[in-house]
A and B are shown apart, each in its own frame.
Chain A
Amino acid sequence: MTCCLVRPDTYRDSVELMRVAALVEKVRGVSRAALMMATPANRELLSGAGLLDATGAAAGPNDLVVAVAAVDRAAGERALAEAARLLDEQAAVSAPAGDKPVPRSIAEAASELPRANLAIISTPGAYATAEALKALKRGLHVFIFSDNVPVADEAELKRLAAKKKLLVMGPDCGTAILDGVPLGFANAVRRGSIGLVGASGTGLQEISCLIDRLGEGCSQVIGVGGHDLDERVGGLMMQAGIERLAADPGTRVIVLVSKPPAPAVARRVLDVARKSGKPVVVNFLGGDPAAILGAGAIPAATLEDAARAAVALARGKRVAAAPLAVAPKLAAAGRAKARRFRKGQSLVRGLYSGGTLCQEAALILEEAGGQKHTTVDLGDDEFTVGRPHPMIDFRLRNERILAAAEDPATAVILLDVVLGYGAHADPAGALAPAIEAATKAAAKRRRGLAIVASVCGTPADPQGLARQETRLAAAGVLLAPSNAQAARLAASLVGHRRPAQTKG
């Protein structure tokens, strides 16, 4: 039998129509197929071939007619449907591959990467808001590495994200490990059952690396940005992060890290933490543990304490009350250096590349009491204008190390060395010459000088933890296994002999 389909006012080239006809003829039960513009001549042709029914006969010269001869109506309809599909497909076919322009906008890129789900934004801060907004509107999670994004913009973005159940990670906190994929500055941490949410980049790096070193791993590491717990932002993304980890069957323990938030924000965040139904370890750098305890969470005084508590909980063990003592061998090596200090050498100079690590050291030194030690975060905006971050470029830090060594009051130079993706390919190699020169300069003036450092990294990091530690040790650096221990060791060397006894 004969079936026709008419597409009114549709023009297609005859070669294309013949191609489609050949494909339609392959449909089971179809003996012949023809697609033509229904000009009088073509209608005659179809009629002569016995392919024109009443529908087809009524078509005009601007109409496209599909005609098939099939064994039965079902086969005919299958064929007509196939023809319609091929006509639409043909029209929708994309341009041949190759020399496709590189997308310039999110809209363009999103259409090219189907089901894109994340935007990584590292534009200058002035443009980051608009890009993030466009990404969120398209349903993408956003990771903002950019700094100098106004807090009001951040609040707007995060309100929108919260509404859309999306994450905005950052700005001003370039660290995340999502589903095992590191973003920004992050370490090669093994996967495991501990989920981290933090407003602090190096805080997350330190905790995740220590968890790795203690033999456990991380489910997700979500950096929410340095201002997330600001009152204007209200901890929106930390709450969202906790909720995600709460819902994640692979996460057994949750760790939160941030500067102390405003009480109202802390209440909201801790409330969500309580509702997670999972053990939550909280390090609000130097904050009051009362509210944390009140919410049923476990306060940790340092990043190391947070890592240890999380590991213990993940293993179903009790959380130790006191921080670890500095290892006897390291303490002895420190004492040997300290014996060479001259009168007046009483200060610790912390020269940091990680803001949170710097702040933690400052707190520990302050707590150890007594003197006016100094700690500087060289990654702070005031130092990074017009130059790369000190985790990448060591020139500024090396200058500062040499200057500190020249100061007769300096007894200890305290450093962080951050490994991982995004960091310098060989931080130890970049630091060692300055450390050696500083040691030599002090010796020339018959002063002792202790350089104390900790390496934030894992054996799997591209720089290699062991290789980095070996190089630093060869330069005479006293290497502590964590930043907190390094700071305590430093404090003990200038006379506050309480390397392990800060309150837990």
Chain B
Amino acid sequence: MPAPKRKTSGGSAPLFDGGIRALNIGVAEFALSPRAHGASVLELDWRPPAGGDRDLGLLLARLEDDPDDPIGSRVAAANKQAIERILAAKPMLVDIGRAADNVKGLGPRHLLHAGPPIAWARMCGPMRGAVIGAILYEGWADTPDAADRLAAGGGVTFAPCHHFGAVGPMAGILSPSMPVFIVENAPGGTRAFAILNDGMGKVLRFGAYSQEVLDRLRWMNESLAPALARALRSRGPVDLKNLTAQALQMGDECHNRNVAATSLFARLIAPSLVRTTPADVAARVLEFLEANNHFYLNLSMAASKATMDAAHGIEGSTVVTAMARNGVEVGVRMSGTGDAWFTAPAPIPDGLYFPGYGPADANPDLGDSAITETAGLGGLAMAAAPAIVRFIGGAAEEAIATTKRMYTITLARNNDFGIPALGFAGTPTGIDARRVVDSGVQPVFNTGIAHREAGVGQIGAGIAKAPLACFAGALRELGRRLKVPA
């Protein structure tokens, strides 16, 4: 493009090589006269960063990339490394085994749950229901009342899944004898676990613990998991990155829509399954997959966890490595702030409800499944899944707008995950806590909605947004760690 013509009667050397290209921050009128004189001016939709907290806004500015500044260069280098590790991740499903035998540090009376740490006394209804179900499943108590007393009386040790390299959808309860997917990310040296998805309707992850639920869990433990494990060992590890990439091009975002991915997985495992498992059992396994469009969710989550753990713990990095909800609070972890959680009250999702239910019945947002968003899938990849756009208002354009908005708070695009509707642009990857707080644009979670009472189960689906306070807290802590001047 030729430079705009300007009067240069004085023969002055330009202060601005090639003309003025200005950002206008504040009053819109200040863009007018420079623009009228040939400058290109880009208007910002500016609002006070950090919700108007001046000190936090300044901290944010001091944490910005700057090659000439010790803090700015450190943050930039740390984030570069974090992004490289995320993009280089290669999560493979290598095995399926008992949690107790594989999850390091898991004690015999441990129950892992979704989200940041929470004690029994503060747990929400669906999580308590799932705890009761898991206690009954493990045989630590015989009746729901006895299970309740055991949990309340300290007979069970609770801890977040995330503290054990695991992730669980919704209540996310993981008990020692449950089977788990084992996902390995060799380039990052990480390993992640997730229980197997227990299906639709009345299921443990939504807090249901009826006999039907427990029977299904036992069948999963005794038949499903061993059959899948045999098939897997026979065919070799499954490349989950590759599978996710294909599913994104088939209309999944691999959080709230997994029908393509589940189908691909079933197709992929079927031959070795029928070769290694009696026909009637194999048929039941395939029927289970056929009836459960979300079966891949737990694989997507474990793959995302293995990916994001590789980027965790890099001093100075502002890349968000986990977002999770326990039904009471949303918790965020950032690469540069170690294992600390930064929490804020969990919102009620904004969504669509099954007949007979409404927002008054909804539990605040729940589950570790936002690990998919953390890895650039789910709500961030919404443009890949126009079929579930009803949850955010209806028009396919909104799905595209959502993903475009998410690009503004992420540091990279994952070119292995192309979105057809965006000209195969890669998914927004590497949420930068600075960008979130600076712009006020919150990461979007695609999420299921659980009934606030235990045992009722899923009553809808929709979206929720990660509270800004979590990211603000993480940045403040990073500021302290890096000794950023106040």
Contacts and interface: CB of A to CB of B under 8 A. Distances in A.
Interface of A: 9-13, 16, 62, 88, 90-96, 99-110, 112-124, 126-127, 129-131, 133-135, 137-138, 140-141, 145-146, 163-164, 167, 178-184, 186, 190-193, 217-220, 244, 247-251, 421-422
Main SS at interface, chain B: mixed
B20 A16 contact: no
A502 to B, nearest CB: 32
Interface in B40-78: 40-49, 54, 57-58, 60-62, 64-66, 68-69, 72
B65 A12 contact: no
B16 interface: yes
B22 A120 contact: yes
Interface of B: 6-27, 29-34, 37-49, 54, 57-58, 60-62, 64-66, 68-69, 72, 90, 239, 241-242, 245-246, 249, 397, 400-401, 403-405, 407-408, 413, 415-416, 418, 420, 422-426, 434-435, 438-441
Contacts of A103: 42, 44-45, 408
Nearest to B14: A179
Contacts of A140: 23
17 contacts: A11-B416, A92-B425, A94-B425, A114-B21, A118-B21, A118-B39, A123-B48, A129-B58, A130-B58, A134-B60, A137-B69, A138-B64, A178-B16, A179-B14, A180-B38, A181-B39, A421-B33
Contacts of A164: 68
A163 B16 contact: no
Contacts of B245: 11
Which of A93, A105, A137 has most chain B Cβ within 10 Å? A105
B416 A100 contact: no
Contacts of B22: 116-120
A119 B21 contact: no
Contacts of A94: 423, 425
A115 B9 contact: no
A190 B8 CA distance: 9
Which of B22, B400, B403 has most chain A Cβ within 10 Å? B22
Contact of B422 (A95, A105, A179): A95
B58 A248 contact: no
Contact of A99 (B7, B65, B397): B397
B143 to A, nearest CB: 50
Contact of B37 (A126, A182, A249): A182
Contacts of A99: 397, 400-401, 404
A102 B424 contact: no
Contacts of A131: 25, 46, 61
A107 B438 contact: yes
Contacts of B401: 99, 101
A137 B423 contact: no
Contacts, number: 253
A91 B23 CA distance: 28
A109 B438 CA distance: 12
A109 B44 contact: yes
A129 B6 contact: no
A335 to B, nearest CB: 41
Nearest to A133: B61
Contact of B16 (A114, A117, A120): A117
B435 A123 contact: no
Which of A163, A178, A220 has most chain B Cβ within 10 Å? A178
Contacts of A127: 48-49, 54, 57
Contacts of B425: 91-95
A70 B395 CA distance: 47
A98 B40 CA distance: 19
Contacts of B57: 127, 130
Given A122-B27, A178-B16, A422 B33 contact: yes
Which of B21, B47, B422 has most chain A Cβ within 10 Å? B21
Given A104-B441, A129-B61, A244-B15, A192 B30 contact: no
Contact of A122 (B26, B47, B404, B405): B26
A248 B12 contact: yes
B51 to A, nearest CB: 12
Given A90-B424, A102-B43, A191-B12, A120 B31 contact: yes
A167 B22 CA distance: 14
B10 A219 contact: yes
A115 B18 contact: yes
B34 A183 contact: yes
Contact of A120 (B24, B47, B403): B24
B428 to A, nearest CB: 10
A421 B39 CA distance: 15
A101 B404 contact: yes
A108 B25 contact: no
A101 B439 CA distance: 12
A178 B15 contact: yes
Contact of B241 (A9, A104, A179, A421): A9
Which of A107, A138, A164, A248 has most chain B Cβ within 10 Å? A107
A119 B415 CA distance: 32
A111 B200 CA distance: 43
B15 A220 contact: yes
Contacts of A109: 23, 42, 44
B99 to A, nearest CB: 29
Nearest to A164: B68
Given A137-B69, A180-B6, A108 B408 contact: yes
A221 to B, nearest CB: 11
Nearest to A96: B423
Given A99-B397, A191-B7, A107 B423 contact: no
Contact of B10 (A11, A106, A135, A217): A217
Given A106-B23, A145-B27, A118 B16 contact: yes
Contacts of A100: 404
Contacts of B90: 9
A117 B20 contact: yes
A343 B52 CA distance: 58
A101 B415 CA distance: 21
Contact of A91 (B37, B47, B415): B415
A16 B404 CA distance: 22
B184 to A, nearest CB: 14
Nearest 4 Cβ contacts at the A-B interface? A250-B12, A122-B26, A91-B415, A133-B61
B483 to A, nearest CB: 17
B239 to A, nearest CB: 5
Which of B7, B26, B424, B425 has most chain A Cβ within 10 Å? B26
B481 to A, nearest CB: 20
